[in-house]
Amino acid sequence: MIPSRLFPRLVLTALVLLAGLAGASCSKSAAPDATAPAAKAKIVIGLSLDTLKEERWQHDRDIFKAEAEKLGAEVVILSANSDDTQQVRDVETLISKGVNVLVIVPHNGSAMDRAVKDANDAKIPVISYDRLILNANIDYYLSFDNVKVGEAQGTYVKDHLPADHVAQVVRIYGAPTDNNAKLFKQGQDNILNPLIAAGKIKVVHEDWATDWKPDVAKNIMNAAITKAGHAIDIVVASNDGTAGGAIQALSEEKIDGKVLVTGQDAELAACQRIMNGTQAMTIYKPLKTLATQAAQIAVAIGQGHPPAIADTLDNGMKKVPSIFVPVVAVDKGNMLATVVADGFHTAADLK
């Protein structure tokens, strides 16, 4: 028989043991099953944009973000307002946030090597989007065939030369810091230089538009008018923004609509000008295709499944796996069958 004086001590001991057993049981049931699959962390993509001033880049941003989110990723977006120093800071900020993949639209393809090196050190893959980052260890490049863009502009000019005299031509190039601008010029040269050599074209004025600014293009056009007067037949403007600046100068001289003006990007204002007759053509670049593919590749890389791509382009350091989306020359004749049919703009918007 247990002495009565020991009952309280035995009861306390029993309660402590029961509590310990209960705690052990709870801990065991709360521990995760070692055989259960771990939940996948959300992929975070850093998108560093040169600028959002131009309508075109707003389209890219929205399409990319929507596709990435549809695939379950998160997108952190920063725009540098065409400032190289700011864009390097933006990339450093995205790296510090721990993004899984970086997608960069460089303001200056030669100025982003430092930022890419930081990404390399952090083991973050880098996709160069639309504009090539030079002399850097990037993983992929997605763009349009920019030489073909220039060739399409040059071919349109070739097909619309005046029959009775030497064409007086003004050439407005893009930003000298943008490698694409040089590729557009290269493509234009492929078509126009033989015509210049044959005496069918005379270039009366040419210059580069800093940061693709329409007001700079307007100044270039004003200088051309001062030099050549109204005897100008064609303006080879490398994009729609510079075309708009040139057309503003032509309008002030009341010769808009009498001069053939090229463009690129199929911006709404440019398409409206084409339908109204003050701009002759633009280059439609299917942004939905490019931005969608870029988002899909970024997510695949973030998930550890980088795609194999056969085409490459040398960026000065390496042959970079590259995808090039075809482009289409658009004028009033095929506007509805291209830009409108793809849902890029509506027919009502073009009126």
What is the full DSSP assignment across 44-82?
Answer: EEEEEES-SSSHHHHHHHHHHHHHHHHTT-EEEEEE-TT
Q: What angle do CA 205, 109, 82 make, to 5 degrees?
A: 75
Side-chain-side CA neighbours of residue 174 (13 Å): 25
Q: Domains plus CATH for the chain?
A: 44-138+287-325 (3.40.50.2300), 146-284+331-340 (3.40.50.2300)
CB-CB neighbours of 104 under 10 Å: 29
Distance from C-alpha of 293 to C-alpha of 299, rounded to nearest angstrom: 10
pTM of the model: 0.78
Report pLDDT for 311. Answer: 94
* pLDDT 10s digits, 215-243: 999 999 999 999 999 999 999 999 999 99
* pLDDT 10s digits, 175-224: 999 999 999 999 999 999 999 999 999 999 999 999 999 999 999 999 99
Side-chain-side CA neighbours of residue 190 (13 Å): 16
Average pLDDT taken over every residue of the chain? 90
pLDDT surpasses 80 at 146 = yes
CB-CB neighbours of 100 under 10 Å: 20
